[in-house]
Structure 1
Amino acid sequence: MGGTPDNVAESREAEEGRAGSGEAGGPGAPPVWSRDFALFFVGRAVARLGDTMLPVALAAGLLQHGYGAGAVGLAMAATAGAFAGLVVFGGVVADRFSTRKLMIWADLVRLGTQAFTAALFFADRVVLWEICAIGVVNGVASAVFQPGVAGMVPRLSSDIQGANGAIRIAESAAQLAGPAVAGVLVGLASAGGVFAAHAATYAISALCLLLLRLPPPAAGSRSPGRGASAFKADLVEGWREFRARTWLWGVIAVWCLYMIAVFGPTVPLVATEVVQEHGPRAYGLVNSALGAGTVVGGLLALRLRPRRMLRAGAIALFGFAGFPATVGLGLDVPAMAAGAAVAGAGMSFWGVMWATSVQTQVQPGVLNRIHAYDVAGSLAMLPVGQALAGPAAVALGADRVLLVSGAMSFVVVIALLSVPAIRGLVRVDTPVTRAPSSAPPAAPPSVPPSVPPA
């Protein structure tokens, strides 16, 4: 992707940090808000707004050009498949090169692809294979971009939990607004207008990243070697570091079950059931309640500072059962909206606890790779759960499948809490800076060696 090796690029970024105002992350930084974190916050919020507009643009645009729902799914799957398949390699790349430059290049690539897509729709020259090919390129760019997100937060704010909570609130608000904005743009300027707006969000994200003044890299960062053998060694090292943390791979293993049995079936079956029984407007209300709940969960994560973060986050996940269960029980729309709001709050609070745990318990030198394994593992089983939802609904009935998903929400939380390494993980408020090694990592001083973070 045309990056500069870390030993050169990061030294330049260190100089930029020393030349700046001293507001970036580090011991003397403000707890959350600084000039640089604000830039990162705006970039993430605007990019998320664009991403939530994309499904509306694809669906409206392809349907208007004579394609069916299968084509829309194929176009979305092209991006998701490329992302899931390459994000682990993106983590290695992010640890070998200047993270910020890679993220800027990824944004610029997606700026170009979405601007080109807008031109295709404005010119009424829409061919499915071209849209899918563009989706693959976007997925590759996202796989390069996403691993760097985790590593940026500890460098920009000394209050990592507060920073993650603020970002979660912004992303949740964007998720609420995105589909509505996309609907207005489709009405005013066709799907091409949505793609043009989506391209503009990547331009803003790239500009925000360009204006950042990053502090010097934390201790524990390193300059990997070059060549295919070194790349493979970095990939293996990332996997070794991932496996060495029981709390980390334990959560991901349980999350695979969660994707198959809970989240995967819930999303398509809730949409189908609510639309069929109450109409699309009711589904919009329920979905908005879910988004509002995620904002509340982010606000709670800004205020609550549990000592055992993963245990608190797992307990909050009990609330997600209300989303599938209220729909499966055939309750009225207000009750379903209430269940969705509670579910969103629980999921959002868990997300902040999890992200903060990873960013503070893992040393900077392997954080991008660990985050990549986390993302890949978390998403791996989602398509399986979505694919099984239809046959299961035919065999058992959609309402029964949703009730099973609600019950499985409790099973998943109990599984998380049953692992000592997860429920016993004690928070640390600054990132671990120990250099990566081939041996299993020692626990931070505040964590008993036998109790990995949860």
Structure 2
Amino acid sequence: MTDKRARFQDIPEEAPERAPGPRAASGGLWNHNFRLFFVARTVAVFGDGMVPVALAAGLLGAGRPGSTVGYALAAWIGPFAVLVLFGGVLADRFTPRRMMILADGLRLVGASVLALSFAAGDPSVWVVYGLSAVSGIGAALFQPGVASIVPRVAHDVQKANAVLRVCEALMTMAGPAFAGLVVGLSGGAGAVFAANAATFGVSGVCMFLLRLFPEGDPVKRGSLLAELVDGWHEFTARSWLWGVIAIWTVYGLTVAGPMMPLTAVLVTEGHGAGTYGALMAVNGAGSVAGGLLALRLRPGRPLAAGAVALLGVVVNLVVLGLGMSVPALGAGQFVGGAAFAFWLVMWSTTVQTHVPADALNRLHAYDVSGSLLMMAAGRALAGPVAERVGAEQVLLAGVGVMVAVVGVLLGARPIRELRRVE
């Protein structure tokens, strides 16, 4: 992969798909294209954070059982997990920008109809499930392009990822808080979904205004199935890539998946829902700190540095598993959030700078799909396993798994010795 960068020109991305070539804009980070992409990502994450609050307020406020909220969220995540691989193929075929604009359009329609439905009264749960599925399909079309757009709008890919991570962490905290405020003022979920729809409108406009220079030589495209297979070959050809994701499936199933629901149960039962909410805010603050740290540190071996940082997750697991005091729990959440955010910046930057542009969307889709499915399985298994052996024991067992994960990441030579690309 070349480290030379081409200057973006103010022309639409309408030329045929190109093979790998110079990808990033020249100049400082805050160029025209990065500003647009930054706004699109920030408002979209802010809007996504509103959805669980809006669904809970709308469905529970209408007298529906609590299970309907879970079913509505599952109706979103199911299509996303299944279709994200095809989203990666479509992004490589039709360009990520076009697919992201289409995705924002779908999500705008879904959120707008939900806003009207809840404003008009008590919509059928099947209407809510169907519209949630529409939003999930939109997310599946949008997500693969996130990885490939960053190196095309930012000269400094790590810095761009760090800035995005900081703002995404802030928006993850701000979205639910804003939704709760709107529900309190308006008394219903319709206004929240209207605000959610507006965020997708802003994101879509920003993506439409992006002007990206076509890349390299034209690429010959096959069928969707052939491109999925080709993406798999690209994936398996890089031992550091499939190695990390294979390790990550174990992490998602045994640590990341169970940690969220078990943390909610233990903290809420022991200290109350207010404390749990405060700890999640502290975790978000830790994510901000981790992103800021990634702005300053530029390790020569980013995956190795990120793996060492993941030991911060061990701290969080220990304080949870041992049932320590609230201040200790807060410290664990802060350290764990910072550690995971730093790893995410190192991982995203490595993938975006080492993978050819014409395969990046598909490979990112494989990463997202595998991680999501394993985390979902881990969450589903967490309750039954915790009932048999205890939630604290599951978390403490995760300490051993997490240490092993870090050990394998550092022990695998292709991962440990992979150098950064400037």
TM-score (norm 2): 0.93
Give distance in 1, aligned partners of 2:386 and 2:24: 51
In the other structure, the counterpart of 1:59 is 56
Which among 230, 237, 260 is matched to residue 244 of structure 1?
Answer: 237
Question: 1:275-314 deviations in whole A, cap 9, x for unaligned?
Answer: 1110111101110110000000100111100010100011
Aligned residue type for 1:427 = R
CA contact (8 A) 1:57 1:195 kept: yes
Q: Does 1:157 align with 2:158?
A: no
Q: What's 1:379 paired with?
A: 372
What is the match of residue 75 of structure 1?
72
1:334 CA drift (Å): 1.1
Cα distance in 1 for partners of 2:328, 2:214 equals 49
Asked whether 1:183 is paired with 2:176, we answer: no
Q: Which amino acid aligns with 2:89?
A: V
- Whether 2:284 is the aligned partner of 1:291: answer yes
Counterpart residue type for residue 193 of structure 2: F
Superposed CA offset, 1:384-405 (max 9, x none): 1111111111111111112222
Q: 1:275 aligns with which of 268, 272, 282?
A: 268
Residue of structure 1 in register with 2:4 after alignment: none
Distance 1:334 1:61 in 2: 34
Task: Please report how far the alpha carbon of residue 324 of structure 1 lies from its aligned counterpart in structure 2 after TM superposition.
Answer: 2.7
Contact 1:323 1:406 (C-alpha < 8 Å) held by counterparts: no
Q: How far 1:177 moved relative to its partner?
A: 0.9
Q: Within 5 Å, which residues of 2 pair with 1:409-428?
A: 409-428=402-421
- 1:317 CA displacement: 0.7
- Amino acid aligned to 1:204: V
**Cα distance in structure 2, aligned partners of 1:405 and 1:90:** 33
User: 1:355 and 1:217 mapped to 2: Cα distance?
Assistant: 22
Corresponding residue SS for 1:381: helix
Instruction: Find the counterpart in structure 1 of residue 5 from structure 2.
Output: none
1:367 corresponding residue in structure 2 = 360
Please give the residue correspondences for 1:296-315 in structure 2 after superposition, counting only pairs within 5 Å: 296-315=289-308
Q: Secondary structure at the match of 2:324?
A: coil
Contact 1:96 1:223 in 2 (8 A): no
Percent same amino acid at aligned positions? 49
The equivalent of 1:136 in structure 2 is 133
Does the 8 A contact of 1:265 with 1:388 survive in 2? yes
> C-alpha offsets along residues 18-37 of structure 1, whole Å, 9 cap, x if unaligned?
xxxxxx9646x124211210
The amino acid that maps onto 2:231 is G
SS at match of 2:420: coil
Equivalent-residue separation in structure 1 for 2:326 and 2:194 (angstroms): 35
Is the 8 Å Cα contact of residues 12 and 210 (structure 2) preserved in structure 1?
no
Partner in structure 1 of residue 228 of structure 2: 235
Higher mean displacement: 373-382 or 294-303: 373-382
Residues 334-384 of structure 1 show CA distances to partners (whole Å, capped at 9, x for unaligned) of: 110110000000000000000011000001111111111111112121111
Aligned equivalents of 1:362, 1:166: Cα separation in 2: 21
Unaligned 5+ segments in structure 2 are 1-9, 16-21
Aligned position for 2:200: 202
Q: Give the superposed CA RMSD.
A: 1.7
Cα distance between partner residues in 2 of 1:223 and 1:283:
50
Look up the equivalent residue of 1:274 and give its one-letter code. Answer: V
Q: 2:106 aligns with which of 90, 105, 109?
A: 109
Q: Specify the code of the residue in structure 1 equivalent to 2:393.
A: R
SS in 1 for 2:345: helix
Residue from 34, 40, 43 that aligns with 2:40 = 43
Which of the residues 235, 251, 259 maps onto 2:252?
259
Q: Is the 8 A contact 1:96 1:224 kept in 2?
A: no
How many residues are treated as equivalent by the alignment?
406
The aligned amino acid for 1:144 is L
Displacement of 1:14 in angstroms is 7.1
* C-alpha spacing 1:406/1:45, structure 2 compared with 1 (3 Å): same
Q: TM-score, normalised by structure 1?
A: 0.87
Q: Deviation string for 1:227-283 (max 9, x for gaps)?
A: xx6222211111100010111111111111101111111100100110111011110
Deviation at 1:145, TM superposition (A): 0.8
Q: Deviations over 1:380-437 (max 9, x none)?
A: 21111111111111111111112222332212111211211111111112xxxxxxxx
The yes-or-no answer on 1:331 pairing with 2:324 is yes
CA drift of 1:218 comes to: 3.0
Say if 1:36 and 1:213, in contact at 8 Å, map to a contact too.
yes
Q: Partner letter of residue 201 of structure 2?
A: A
